[in-house]
Amino acid sequence: MIENYKGWDITLTWDDNHSFINNSSSYNTFNQKEKWKGVNLKGKSVYGASLKEIRHIIDYPRLHK
């Protein structure tokens, strides 16, 4: 976990190459927009390209539907 923001645990989903060693095909198809992941206590997940974008999605969820 990188940060807890308003009850959401925010993590970097590909901070190292370890996740790509086991499945090299996923490296080619990895989406930049899913670099960061936020998960709340109910298990809802949101994805974004930056920590700032994740915070914006959490603060203004209606703008990102």
pLDDT digits (tens, 9 = 90+) for 34-57: 789 999 999 999 999 999 999 999
Q: What is the pTM of this model?
A: 0.68
Residues 21-32 have a mean pLDDT of: 49
pLDDT, residue 8, reads 94
**Phi then psi dihedrals of residue 53, to 5 deg:** -65, -40
Would you list the domain boundaries of the chain?
3-64
Query: What's the pLDDT score for residue 31?
Result: 65
Amino acid identity for residue 3 in this structure: E
The CA-atom distances, in angstroms, between 30 and each of 5, 18, 24, 35, 59 are 25, 14, 10, 9, 26
